Structures are given as structure tokens and as C-alpha cells.
Amino acid sequence: MNQESVVYGCIKDVVYTSEGSDLNTHREHNKRVMQSLPSIEDWPLISREMFSAPVQFTALDDVHTDVVHFGISYKAVEHEWQSWLNKFEDMLKQMYWVSAVVHLETEYSGTHTFTWDAEDDLHEPSVGELSVRCEWSREAVGF
């Protein structure tokens, strides 16, 4: 066994807010935050290359959710998981978002799902504390 861990998920933002915030302002700000992350070549736990920013839409006639998705494979990242979570939350604190989900799939300890929901329907950069929920599931091994 190679002790592979796979981490993937998404960060969601709203199209419109009650304050009239501009989606493009949110999107450009979030993109700058992700681009400020270290390169994967430096072997950080979280790197800019693992994130994919949403594309610019020309027409916003349909209501949709802006979604940043991410994913990466590690060797046994669960041994450094608290550090990974801290770095992810540090990034989230700098971004606009309404919810975020991270899935951690490990060979030894099953699948964990971590969920963050913004207070007041929108998290603004550096405003408020973050609260995370974790769900754990493990497939039973047949005898």
C-alpha cells in the first residue's frame, strides 16, 4: 500500500448579495488570494495549482453559484491534517464565499467530509470566525 490520500472539494460564492456586491469583484479578489498561494514546486500543503477559478461569464441572466473547485493527491496527508486545515482556513478567511466542502479520502481511516458555512449568508474577507463540521465514513471490509 502506498498510503495515498486524496483531497478535493469546492468553495461556493453567490452571484448577487443583498448589499449589491459585484460578482466580478468577489471573483477577482478570490482569484488574487489563490494566486498568492505558494507554487506546488515548493512542496507546500496547499498550492495555487490545486485550485481552479471560475471562468468569466458574459451574461448573468440565469442565477448560478460561482464555484472554485480543487483537488490533489498526497502521500499520507492525514499525518499533517491539522496543519492542512489551518492553511485552508487561513485562505478561506481572506476570501468571499457562502460555503466550502473538503473531502479527505485515506486508505487507513476512511473518508472525512469537512464543511464550512458562512454566518450571515456570506463570508467577507477577514470578517468573523470560521466553524467547521466533520463527518466520517468508512467502508466495512468483508470477512
Q: What is the pLDDT of residues 115-136, one digit of tens each?
A: 999 887 888 898 777 888 887 7
Structural domain contains residue 142 = no
Secondary structure in 3-state letters for 125-136: CCCCCCCEEEEE
Structural domain contains residue 30 = yes
Domain containing 99 equals: 4-137
| CB 11, CB 67: distance < 8 Å | yes
What's this model's pTM, rounded to 2 decimal places?
0.86
Confidence class of residue 141 from pLDDT cuts 50, 70 and 90?
very low
Task: Kindly state the greatest CA–CA separation across the chain.
Answer: 58
| Residue-wise DSSP of the chain | ---EEEEEEEEEE-S--TT---HHHHHHHHHHHHHTSPPGGG--SS-GGGEEPPPPPS---S---EEEEEEEEEESGGGGHHHHHHHHHHHHHTS-BSEEEEEEEETTTEEEEEEEE-GGG-B-TT-S---EEEEEE-PPPP-
pLDDT tens for each residue of 61-93 = 555 788 999 999 999 898 899 999 999 999 999
User: What burial class does residue 60 get, using C-beta atoms within 10 Å of its C-beta: 0-12 exposed, 13-18 middle, 19+ buried?
Assistant: exposed
Structural domain contains residue 86 = yes
Asked whether residue 106 carries a pLDDT value surpassing 70, the answer given is yes
Q: What percent of the chain has pLDDT over 90?
A: 51
Structural domain contains residue 115 = yes
Structural domain contains residue 29 = yes
Total of domains in the chain: 1
Range of lowest pLDDT (4-13, 56-65, 121-130): 56-65
Structural domain contains residue 143 = no
